[in-house]
Amino acid sequence: MLRFILRRLLLLIPVIIGLTIIMFAIARLLPGDPVALAAGPNATQAEIAALAVEYGLDKPVWTQYANYVSGLAHGDFGTSLLTRRPVATDIAAYLPATLELVFAAMIIAVAVGIPLGLVTAVWRNRWPDYLAQVGAIGAISMPRFFLGLLLQLCFAMWLMWLPLGGRLPIVVIPPPSVTGFLTIDSLIAGNWTAFTMSLRHLALPAIAMSLSPLATIMRMMRSSTIEVMQQDYVMTARALGLPSRKIITKYVARNAVSATLTVIGLYFGWLLGGTVLVETVFDWPGLGLYATKAIVSQDMMPVIGVALVIGLLFVFANLIIDVLYGVINPKVRYS
C-alpha cells in the first residue's frame, strides 16, 4: 500500500516537468508583451526594460525556464506582474476558497447523485426514471454561469434569502485561519455567526457547480446499479430472505458505488479547473478568479502556477480515489 502510494508520488515529477514546459511555451513563445502591459500605459521604454530585468524576463527562454524550475524546488512559483506578490503567496491565499467550493459542490453531487442513481435504477424504465434521465441531460447541458446568474436572480435579488457573492460580508470578522475553509475555521473558533454566514455564501455557488457532476454521478450510479442487480449474489441474498430494501441500500449500493468512484475522481479535477466561471459570477475569491484576472492582463506566472497546482491536485485526487477504491473493493487491495 505504502509502496504503491510512493511510486505514484514519484510519477508526479515528470508531470510537473511536463506541465511547466507546456505552460512556459504558451507564456513565452506566443505573441504579446506582458511587461509593457504591467508597466502601465504611460511607462517609458526604459521603465519597461527595467521591469523586465527585475523579473528576469530579459534573459533567454531557456534560462528563464531553468530559473523557474530551480525556484519551484524551493516552493517559489515566481512573482506576479500584476499583484507584485510572490505567486506562491497568492495561491496559498486563494486555493482554500476554491477547494472549499469544490468540496461543497462534490458533497452535494455525491449526496444527491448516488441515492438518485440508486432509486432510478430500481425504478428503471418507469416514468420517474425517464424524467430523471432527461433531467440529467438537461443538467449537463446547463451553462454553469447562466445557472449561477439565475440562482442569484431568484434567491439573492428577488427572494433575498441568500447573499449575492463573496465569502463573507465585510462586517463579519473572519475566524483565524486554520484550514482556510471558512466554514470549518469558524466552527473551530466556535464562531456561530461566521459559520452560518459563510455557509449561506457558499450555498449558491456550490449548487451552481454541483449540478453537472450530480447528473453524471447519477447516470453512472444508475447504470452500475443495474449491472450489480443482475449479479448472482443479489439473487442469493433474495433467496435467503434479506429484505429488498436492505439488499439495495447495503449490498447493491456498496458494489455500485465502487464503480462510480472513478467518475467522482475525474470530476474532482474537472471541477477544480471549472470553477473559473462560477467564481466570476459569484465574485468568489478563488484560484479561478485569480487566474482569470492574470490571464486578462497577460500575467503568465500566476497562470502557470495555477495550472500547475490544479494539475497536481488532479493527479492527487486520482491517487486518493485509487486508494479509496482499494478500501471499498477488498479484492484490489490484496492483489
Partner 1 sequence: MTAPLLSIQNLHLKMSSFDGRAHVLNGINLTVNRGEIWGLVGESGCGKSLTGLSISRLQPTPPAHYVAGEILLEGQDLLKLSQAQMQRLRGKRIGMIFQDPTTNLNPAFRIGEQLVDVALAAAEHDAGVLDCPPNAGRRARRIAARKLAGDMLARVGIPNAQARLDSYPHQFSGGMRQRVLIAMALIGRPDLLIADEPTTALDVSVQAQILELIKNSVNDFDMGVVLITHNLGVVAQTCSHVAVMYAGNIVESGPVAAVIGSPVHPYTRALMSAIPTRETKRGMLRGLAGSVPNLIVPPPGCRFAPRCQFALPACTAAMPAAVPVGNDHAVACIRVAEMEALVHG
Partner 2 sequence: MTTMEQNTADHPGTPRRDRLRRAFFRFSQSKLSMLGAVMVAAVIFFTIFGTVLAPYPAHVAGGVDTASRFLAPSAAHPFGTNELGQDVLSLVMAGTSVSVLAGLGVVLIGSAIGTLVGAIAGFARGWVDEVLMRLTDLTLTIPGLILAMAIAAALGAGFGNMVIAIALSWWPGYARLVRGEVLAAREEVYVTAARALGATPKRILFRHILPNVVSPIIVKMSLDMGFAILTVAGLGFIGIGVRPPTPEWGTLLSVSRSYMPDYWWTAMAPGMAMFLAVFGFNLLGDGLRDVLDPKARR
236 binds, among partner 1, partner 2, none (CB under 5 to 8 A by kind): partner 1
The Cα–Cα gap between 136 and 42 comes to 52
Counting beta carbons within 10 angstroms of the beta carbon of residue 268, is it exposed (0 to 12), middle (13 to 18) or buried (19 or more)? buried
173 binds, among partner 1, partner 2, none (CB under 5 to 8 A by kind): none
Options 4, 5, 9, 32; binder of partner 2; rule CB under 8 A: 32
Number of residues that bind partner 2 (CB under 8 A): 53
Counting contacts by CB under 8 A, is residue 1 touching partner 1? no
Residue 33 DSSP one-character state: -
Q: What is the 3-state secondary structure (H, E, C) of 134-199?
A: HHHHHHHHCCHHHHHHHHHHHHHHHCCCCCCCCCCCCCCCCCCCCCCCHHHHHHHCCCHHHHHHHH
Counting contacts by CB under 8 A, is residue 57 touching partner 2? no
Of the candidate spans 112-120, 151-159, 241-249, 315-323, the one that interacts with partner 1 by CB under 8 A turns out to be 241-249
The Cα–Cα gap between 62 and 321 comes to 37
Q: For residue 122, which of 229, 242, 255 has the smallest C-alpha distance?
A: 229
Subset of residues 304 to 333 that bind partner 2, contact rule: CB under 8 A: 306-307, 310-311, 314-315
Q: For residue 19, which of 324, 309, 322 has the smallest C-alpha distance?
A: 309
The Cα–Cα gap between 16 and 24 comes to 12
Subset of residues 54 to 83 that bind partner 1, contact rule: CB under 8 A: none
- In whole angstroms, the minimum distance from the beta carbon of 104 to partner 2 comes to 19
Number of residues that bind partner 1 (CB under 8 A): 24
For residues 121 and 225, is the Cβ–Cβ distance under 8 A?
yes
- In whole angstroms, the minimum distance from the beta carbon of 242 to partner 1 comes to 5
The Cα–Cα gap between 54 and 199 comes to 42
Subset of residues 261 to 300 that bind partner 1, contact rule: CB under 8 A: none
Spell out, one character per residue from 189 to 228, where the chain touches partner 1: x when CB under 8 A holds, - when not. Answer: ----------------------------------------
Counting beta carbons within 10 angstroms of the beta carbon of residue 328, is it exposed (0 to 12), middle (13 to 18) or buried (19 or more)? middle
- In whole angstroms, the minimum distance from the beta carbon of 144 to partner 2 comes to 8
Subset of residues 127 to 166 that bind partner 2, contact rule: CB under 8 A: 134, 137-138, 140-143, 145-146, 149-150, 152-153, 157-158
Our measurement of the distance from residue 87's CA atom to the centroid of its chain's CA atoms, rounded to an integer in Å, reads: 19
Q: Which positions lie near partner 2, rule CB under 8 A?
A: 14-15, 18-19, 22-23, 26-27, 30-32, 134, 137-138, 140-143, 145-146, 149-150, 152-153, 157-158, 220, 223-224, 227, 269-270, 272-274, 276-277, 280-281, 288, 291-292, 295-296, 298, 300, 303, 306-307, 310-311, 314-315
Q: Which positions lie near partner 1, rule CB under 8 A?
A: 231-233, 235-244, 246, 250-251, 254-255, 258, 328-331, 334
